[in-house]
A and B are shown apart, each in its own frame.
Chain A
């Protein structure tokens, strides 16, 4: 294609906003973490490993099954350690919905977080995720996940 380059006097570039996945929205990811802590974690406290595992699991419905059968198969999936999760956790801590225990290295739901959790549970969102988390309950403890992880990836 021949451009009429000779006739062009000036060219302006405008940065265009681009569409992004909703999972990249802070509030979406924070709400997901809140649900994991609220529904599937003892003391509403979860290790980063557990949060990463569930974060992977909630990506699509096919992965739900893997988590359901984790205790049976003892087959720890190859998960992607999502940096966006970490970033979301950072945001959440900043927003004071999560608290980070330096000693245990675990994240807990704050009172503010608990408040948001109740709203999310009542709201018309995350319907499939809620069903999944309510079904799997608190069966996968931090300790068990860590143990499985170490068996799968020793060293």
Chain B
């Protein structure tokens, strides 16, 4: 498929002496532009680059790349003529047969040199009003913006320019200019290397390789890009997945769910699930658990919960009962406490009495002893006889008038002892009584506390909203609701996570599909075929062109640089000057052929300005003309051969010879 065909080139120069210029019609296939040296042949050919906005191949931008003859002054009949204005026009058609005419001014009062006007029609071939649109080159966005001429041109040529890596690290579109050196060999720099460097820093890495790959439509460019992209996608997906994993785990921890053991790679997981423990400590899915809890809550709300209003009368009855009970118990306690106090006092006084009695006993016993002691000295008292009157007298210091008959001392002692025994018994009894009363008191106090607690509970419930469920039921309901709300939150979070999970899985699948589609090696099978074909064709053309410096058997194509190498080394461009030219012929033509053979992106146009450099053998040039004439694409060769030589060399060949004569090509235009 030949994407472009040049139909008509017209250079118009406005001078003080009227209009000058030239008008060239190209044909399909092989075209030879023949002119004498230094008569403006290269200027004319290079104007093609200018009108296409590709003049950077010439080592600059805009009109300064054009020769003075096209913008300052021209020689005519031995004198100089000043140029007022000039423009180049080119009528081209594409593979779809759409014809457009491009106009770019070289020198103009009112037209910017960056402007390229596109007329939608064969403006140079026939008269007519064609609509037009202005585009720009060498401005930011020229290649990608809407007003960019190259954006327009690449869509016109159906070129999808790839994004290629730059030195700065990002990607940039492969500019149209950068492809040009592989099909347009201009006279000055074009013959010095396979890919003559172009001016303007595009910052694109391995520019010549990318251009080569583009023309052959090789997979590597997009594969390399794809690899880069996949690497980024994988990192992104892994990140997303591990973030998701962490979220699931945190969620699981927050609701005491089973912590899922998630794989490093989501694709191996059919679906994500979150399981929690139910009441029986069995793991169930969170949704089942919620369903079950909802059931429990509904049940409780509808039937299970006993409302206070239903039990109010019962509670009031209970309150009364309870109040009575509390009162009774209170009374009982008061009574027991009083009793206890009395008992204790009684016990204390008994104890004091006992002490007194014991002292009394002791003293009585002492008195008894004293009597025995005294009887040795005076027997009167021990016998109850008065020491003065020797009459019977009571054993007492009490006056006789009191008529009190005291007990005998021994009887007195017995009496006291009995008293003591009685008291001791009394104390013991009292002790037991106190103990019993105390334990009784403790029991009743406990009863009272319970009764009071129940009374409080009943009262507080009666005070509450009568429609409310009882406190106990309410507690349980609240617990369940808190739990279910927590689970609702968790499940909605989980659903979001699940959605994201599905997205990640599908993205991961996409990633794997793309990864699968990538060739294992750097070159795809098709790329390898193309390169093999290229090498074969290239070497066969070299043979055809009588390349002789090196045995072509030793030449291979470097898969690294896409240039020919000899035993691993670049072919030196100083071996034989004419052989270098042959290398370039072969190289440029093989690119076209390879592209043609494998549906590449070659524009289908080859331009060689002065291929007969370095005293090229006529035989070789003739062979070039033959090859070009048999090539389907359009080729334009600029040459300064004599018309007879051309005729001789191109005998029987199908070609279009444009002989521009012996004089300057730029000459007065005949209206």
Task: Give residues in A with beta carbon < 8 Å to B.
Answer: 15-31, 84, 87-88, 91, 94-97, 112, 115-116, 119-120, 123-126
Contacts and interface: CB of A to CB of B under 8 A. Distances in A.
5 contacts: A17-B407, A25-B367, A28-B367, A96-B387, A126-B366
A124 B365 CA distance: 10
Given A27-B371, A97-B378, 18 more contacts: A17-B405, A17-B406, A18-B406, A19-B416, A20-B398, A23-B363, A24-B396, A24-B406, A25-B367, A25-B395, A25-B396, A27-B381, A28-B363, A28-B366, A28-B367, A95-B387, A96-B378, A97-B377
Interface in B402-419: 403-409, 411-412, 415-416
A116 B377 contact: yes
Contacts of A24: 396-398, 406
B374 A116 contact: yes
B373 interface: yes
Contact of A125 (B366, B377, B395, B396): B366
B108 interface: no
Contacts of A115: 377
A96 B360 CA distance: 28
A82 to B, nearest CB: 9
Given A24-B396, A29-B397, A119 B366 contact: no
B373 A22 contact: no
A52 B21 CA distance: 172
Given A25-B397, A95-B378, A20 B406 contact: yes
B378 A20 contact: no
B387 A19 contact: no
Contacts of B129: none
A16 B412 CA distance: 13
Interface in B491-529: none
Contacts of A31: 370, 373-374
Contacts of B369: 123-125
A124 B406 CA distance: 25
A4 to B, nearest CB: 30
A22 B363 contact: yes
Nearest to A115: B377
Report whether over half of chain B's contact residues are helix, strand or loop; otherwise say mixed.
loop
Nearest to A25: B367
B388 interface: yes
Contact of A95 (B363, B380, B412): B380
B367 A94 contact: no
B370 A27 contact: yes
Contacts of A87: 397, 399
A18 B412 CA distance: 8
B364 interface: yes
B376 interface: yes
A22 B364 contact: yes
Nearest to B414: A19
B380 A28 contact: no
Size band of the interface chain B makes with A: 35 or more
B360 A112 contact: no
Nearest to A129: B366
- Among A28, A94, A126: residue with most chain B CB under 10 A: A28
Contacts of B360: 21-22
Contact of B388 (A17, A94, A119): A94
Contacts of A23: 363
Contact of A112 (B367, B373, B377): B377
Interface string B381-392: 110001110000
A84 B367 CA distance: 16
Contacts of A19: 406-407, 411-412, 415-416
Contacts of A16: 405
B373 to A, nearest CB: 5
Nearest to A16: B405
Nearest to A32: B370
B387 A125 contact: no
Nearest to B404: A18
A88 B412 CA distance: 20
B411 to A, nearest CB: 7
Contacts of A25: 367, 395-397, 409
A116 B372 CA distance: 11
A126 B363 CA distance: 8
Contacts of A28: 363, 366-367, 370
Contacts of A91: 381, 387, 397
Nearest to B396: A24
A84 B406 CA distance: 15
Contact of B405 (A15, A29, A120): A15
Nearest to B405: A17
A125 B370 CA distance: 8
Contacts of B378: 95-97, 112
A20 B412 contact: yes
A20 to B, nearest CB: 4
B521 to A, nearest CB: 123
Given A17-B407, A19-B416, A20-B412, A26 B397 contact: yes
A124 B362 CA distance: 11
Contacts of A94: 386-388
Contacts of B406: 17-20, 24
Contacts of A119: 373-374, 376-377
A107 B373 CA distance: 22
Contacts of B371: 27
Contacts of B404: 18, 20
B440 to A, nearest CB: 33
A125 B363 CA distance: 9
Given A116-B374, A120-B373, A17 B411 contact: yes
Contact of B407 (A18, A27, A29, A97): A18
Interface in B30-84: none
B9 to A, nearest CB: 151
B374 A27 contact: yes
A90 to B, nearest CB: 9
Contacts of B382: 27
Contact of A26 (B381, B412, B416): B381
Contacts of A17: 405-408, 411
Contacts of B398: 20, 24, 84
9 closest pairs, A vs B, by CB? A22-B363, A28-B367, A84-B397, A20-B406, A22-B367, A94-B387, A22-B364, A94-B388, A125-B366
A95 B379 CA distance: 10
Contacts of A97: 377-378
Nearest to A127: B366
